[in-house]
Copies of this chain bind each other. A is one copy, B any other.
Amino acid sequence: MATVRLTYFDGRGLGEIVRFILAACGIEFTETLLQERQEYEKLLEDGKLEFYQVPLLEIDGLELVQTGAIVRYVARKGGLYGHSNAEQSKIDMFYEGTRDFFDSFHLMVFQDPKEVLAKAKAKGLPRYLPVFDQALKKNGTGFLVGDSMSLADVSLIELLLIVTEYFGEETLSDYPSLKAFKSMMVSQERIAAFLKGPQRKGANTDAYVATCRTVLKLDI
């Protein structure tokens, strides 16, 4: 089998959901972790970045960009994208909802991290956590859609790990379905192995942010 290669930075950012879904699907992958502006310019010259952005996933002879396109391709390939149009639409709904909330954290690379976190805590948590808690309770299988793991669950566990890392486990104490979901998901064999393994990235560091800004030439 040809190598599956993810090109991103040595941090979570938009790449981590790609790593999660690859891991959840049991697809092994190698990584190119960008450090220098020249590496990025080479990718642009080679025409590998359709919209001049990373992450890039090279898989099955394709050069996929746009996070939402990449994770859906992998989820379809790995059987984590539902069994009917109705299920797929629900998976899409929850995926988009988790990403809306996630985007507020992603802004930490571009804005003052303290302000971003304060806003996420004050506005994001009370808005999104009840929705996902209720959705899990209503579906009743432990998963967001249907009776097995999907892209929606993988996206939600990434988010809950961020939330509890920044704001503590007690953030979930009023949300029993989310608490149970988190325990269940991190115990899934492939997810557990990924979280313990070398491809799981750590929280943002100053060095990571500086590298992103250098490679992407962000002057602001």
Contact = CB atoms under 8 A, between A and B. Distances in A.
A51 B66 CA distance: 23
A97 B72 CA distance: 15
A181 to B, nearest CB: 17
A73 B92 contact: yes
B64 A76 contact: no
B50 A66 contact: no
Given A51-B100, A97-B51, A131-B51, A66 B85 contact: no
A220 interface: no
Contact of A73 (B89, B97, B127, B131): B89
B66 A97 contact: yes
A77 interface: yes
Given A50-B135, A52-B127, A69-B92, A86 B100 contact: no
Interface string A55-82: 0000010101111111011001100000
A97 B135 contact: no
Contacts of A72: 88-89, 92
A62 B84 CA distance: 13
Interface in A90-134: 90, 92-93, 95-97, 100, 127-128, 131
Given A64-B93, A93-B66, A131-B51, A88 B100 contact: no
Contacts of A77: 85
Contacts of A66: 92-93, 96-97
A127 B93 CA distance: 29
Nearest to A91: B69
A75 B86 CA distance: 12
Interface of A: 50-52, 60, 62, 64-70, 72-73, 76-77, 85-86, 88-90, 92-93, 95-97, 100, 127-128, 131, 135
Q: Which 7 A-B pairs have the closest CB atoms?
A: A69-B92, A66-B96, A73-B89, A69-B93, A66-B93, A51-B97, A76-B85
